[in-house]
Chains A and B, each alone.
Chain A
């Protein structure tokens, strides 16, 4: 076996802080009532700047990362999944949703150090673009005896148009802007009603600005992954993108991502690699099997680094086509003053920005995801692509078979592996490793010694 250590590698300095922030988030949510604050629940995709206008003592819990945390804890996850099935729900439903419902049904919190019981939210504020988004919380509301719930339908149509490998952003039609802004205005009135609190537009404005800072900074971090060697690997990126899925409109998240951007930039400048023996570069597309993240480490034995995924890049990062034709981080306004101060106008800016989220485009047509992935494959200098046929998420598996055909047609080797992001009963680790072995062989790679 060849020995290959071409690059220097070192741990992230911010790693400890990243872990602390994540745990603090779950603690803040659990202890919100002790501090006289409010708790709200909603998806990681929701327009989470809106609840922040209710005050600085309002803490949320976002469903997908919470469910992924459950999935990582295999014993607890199995109990959650079985509790949901016992309640009459089908086993092929979204596995995040089933883990989450299980936690509610069992009345157990995935972070028992902060609360033994599932901390009941005071209200639900969710988006809807996947068939399961609003329905997820309709069931949570039922299970909890009727938690007030408001959902915003964000499925107003695609924000990009693709023609073969090329794509461009299109402007939202005025009636679509009005639909989203109208729902947001209704949501604010509703939040005031159900919480009895006054709403503060200046806090909303701040949250929208922080949202833009977070998503722009994260995209810039992802941009730096173009560097050879890649400063981060996919497993690390999952641990870092999560802050955006928790609270992208919070000041702490925006500050953290800007600090992280500095460190990643410094790694690039100093030539620090995530994987010291980097030889080939791949990406994946959607959520990983959370209980089996080690499979990405297995690739490193071949000198293969997965530099991220459309999921991590495109759920939290906001992007735009730059003057030189590159797909780069969407520019963040220079300061909060650039955001209009009037409620309706600031909401219009917010929805027009957020509608571009790459992951939202996947729901409309596979040609949009294919175009984005082909762009990534070229610009991020990739040797191949891995597609996770994820039984746990119909939303992000939509069109995946067509993505495979399109990527192959564009000349990129594609490996598919079947699994489930949140239900370990549907993940065959040995079989996936065997597929990885075969994929590496097709890329001409052999296992390297450490």
Chain B
């Protein structure tokens, strides 16, 4: 049953096209997890996250200057290579400059019916951010209504909120089981679960996740004496890397990624004006570093996760050239080390040098094991 997530991840394009054919609905590709999926579900639009394929490519050089992150180039490459030709629309919610380039080049060169830039506020620690975002969500709702030729009611929005919230709650419950000593699922399985939720119909994803949650009550991976690690940093759906780490005997038990907790941890409260509540959720969610100022709220949450999930060490992994994460890393490293956690820093590219990384991860795990000796 849990293998379903891997299957969805690997056949994401077929899944989306099947959905489109069977429902007659529209599919929208999005470039950042600040996109309010609730409004899209309210309009019966399927949002799918545009991610890369981790393969070398040679089509983005004329469009994106090479000092921008490999993820944005890998994402644009998918569009230029025609792998998302089934998309009816694209959108981005304002976050980092890197992903914005993938979006804008897509907008310029790959025509779709609908293209939208949502100015998500950066100053999320200001009380002024929620009213501003509410205004932007209202504009966005009107544009979606024009695109789908359908007026959205508050009931529609509530339904959209419920669909997305339900999946969030279930995934959070799955993550809670990872606190156990006898781990019921691996970090790789958890990653497949979250990333596949960004690519499939959430109603179906929640149905499977509900079943998985029941199964996890009695499941054991046999990873009782494993080295428990946390993983954090920029976008990471590098399943090959996570698989390699776990083959070495460690297990990823918690994360701070936009393909992990930052995506689903926080839910929309279901009382009052739906747009205000959606705005509140996106303003108050676990932040991307681009929005984590003036206070460093990520640090507190990361430490809390590390403590509660009993992590012995942390792997900080970032997309090469990802400035927002690069700026945060020294502060986060220090905070983790002050807490007594060892840290391994690695830099992701489109493809991962698994051999080199394996040696470094092995050395890291040996270092953690030495701590146990004394």
Tell me, in angstroms, the Cα distance from A89 to B327 when the chains sit together. 7
A86 CB → nearest B CB, Å:
11
Q: Which residues of A contact B289 (CB under 8 A)?
A: 135
Asked if A394 is at the interface of the complex by the 8 Å CB criterion, the answer is yes
Asked if B135 is at the interface of the complex by the 8 Å CB criterion, the answer is yes
Q: Please tell me if the beta carbons of A128 and B123 are within 8 angstroms of each other in the complex.
A: yes
Which chain B residue lies CB-closest to A90?
B326
Which chain A residue lies CB-closest to B333?
A88
Tell me, in angstroms, the Cα distance from A54 to B266 when the chains sit together. 40
Q: Please tell me if the beta carbons of B139 and A394 are within 8 angstroms of each other in the complex.
A: no
Tell me, in angstroms, the Cα distance from A156 to B121 when the chains sit together. 7
Q: Which residues of A contact B128 (CB under 8 A)?
A: 178-179, 182-183, 186
User: Which positions 28-84 of chain B face chain A at CB distance < 8 Å?
Assistant: 61-65, 67-68
Asked if B284 is at the interface of the complex by the 8 Å CB criterion, the answer is no
Q: Please tell me if the beta carbons of A151 and B294 are within 8 angstroms of each other in the complex.
A: yes
B141 CB → nearest A CB, Å:
14
Tell me, in angstroms, the Cα distance from A376 to B24 when the chains sit together. 46
Q: What does DSSP make chain B's interface, helix, strand, loop or mixed?
A: helix
Q: Please tell me if the beta carbons of A394 and B294 are within 8 angstroms of each other in the complex.
A: no
Tell me, in angstroms, the Cα distance from A230 to B296 when the chains sit together. 49
Q: Please tell me if the beta carbons of B327 and A179 are within 8 angstroms of each other in the complex.
A: no
Interface residue tally for chain B (C-beta within 8 Å)? 48
Q: Which residues of B contact A128 (CB under 8 A)?
A: 122-123, 293
B67 CB → nearest A CB, Å:
5
Q: Which residues of B contact A130 (CB under 8 A)?
A: 97
Asked if A152 is at the interface of the complex by the 8 Å CB criterion, the answer is yes
User: Which positions 285-301 of chain B face chain A at CB distance < 8 Å?
Assistant: 289-290, 293-294, 296
B285 CB → nearest A CB, Å:
16
Q: Please tell me if the beta carbons of B105 and A156 are within 8 angstroms of each other in the complex.
A: no
Asked if B321 is at the interface of the complex by the 8 Å CB criterion, the answer is yes
Q: Please tell me if the beta carbons of B135 and A135 are within 8 angstroms of each other in the complex.
A: no
Q: Which residues of B contact A88 (CB under 8 A)?
A: 329-330, 333
User: Which positions 86-113 of chain B face chain A at CB distance < 8 Å?
Assistant: 94, 96-98, 100-101, 104-105, 107-108
Known contacts A135-B324, A399-B101, A394 near B107 by CB under 8 Å: no
Asked if A341 is at the interface of the complex by the 8 Å CB criterion, the answer is no
Q: Which residues of B contact A391 (CB under 8 A)?
A: 67
Asked if B173 is at the interface of the complex by the 8 Å CB criterion, the answer is no
User: Which positions 394-415 of chain A face chain B at CB distance < 8 Å?
Assistant: 394-395, 397-402, 405
Q: Which of A110-118, A136-144, A198-206, A265-273 binds B?
A: A136-144
Interface residue tally for chain A (C-beta within 8 Å)? 51
Q: Please tell me if the beta carbons of A397 and B123 are within 8 angstroms of each other in the complex.
A: no
Tell me, in angstroms, the Cα distance from A394 to B323 when the chains sit together. 9
B124 CB → nearest A CB, Å:
9
Most buried by A among B67, B136, B331, B333: B67
Q: Which of B98, B126, B321 contacts A183 (CB 8 A)?
A: B126
Asked if B131 is at the interface of the complex by the 8 Å CB criterion, the answer is yes
Tell me, in angstroms, the Cα distance from A265 to B291 when the chains sit together. 45
Q: Please tell me if the beta carbons of A152 and B97 are within 8 angstroms of each other in the complex.
A: no
Q: Which residues of B contact A400 (CB under 8 A)?
A: 65
Q: Which residues of B contact A139 (CB under 8 A)?
A: 327, 331
Known contacts A138-B294, A155-B94, A397-B65, A93 near B122 by CB under 8 Å: no
Known contacts A155-B94, A178-B128, A93 near B136 by CB under 8 Å: no
Known contacts A135-B289, A397-B67, A401-B64, A175 near B131 by CB under 8 Å: yes
Tell me, in angstroms, the Cα distance from A278 to B296 when the chains sit together. 53
Q: Which residues of B contact A152 (CB under 8 A)?
A: 123
Q: Which of A29-37, A59-67, A362-370 binds B?
A: A362-370
B127 CB → nearest A CB, Å:
8
Q: Please tell me if the beta carbons of A92 and B67 are within 8 angstroms of each other in the complex.
A: yes
Q: Please tell me if the beta carbons of B97 and A398 are within 8 angstroms of each other in the complex.
A: yes
Interface bits B115-131 vs A (CB < 8 Å: 1, else 0): 00101011100111101
Tell me, in angstroms, the Cα distance from A116 to B87 when the chains sit together. 59
A70 CB → nearest B CB, Å:
19
Asked if A131 is at the interface of the complex by the 8 Å CB criterion, the answer is yes
Tell me, in angstroms, the Cα distance from A397 to B198 when the chains sit together. 30
Q: Which residues of A contact B320 (CB under 8 A)?
A: 92
Q: Please tell me if the beta carbons of B65 and A401 are within 8 angstroms of each other in the complex.
A: yes
Q: Which residues of A contact B139 (CB under 8 A)?
A: 173
Q: Which residues of A contact B328 (CB under 8 A)?
A: 135
Q: Please tell me if the beta carbons of B327 and A175 are within 8 angstroms of each other in the complex.
A: no
Most buried by A among B108, B129, B323: B323
Which chain B residue lies CB-closest to A134?
B293
A-B contact list, 6 entries, CB within 8 Å: A90-B323, A94-B323, A135-B328, A153-B126, A394-B68, A401-B61
Q: A138-B294, A395-B97, A401-B65 are in contact. List 9 more A-B contacts (CB 8 A).
A: A131-B290, A134-B294, A155-B122, A157-B117, A175-B132, A179-B132, A183-B123, A394-B67, A398-B101
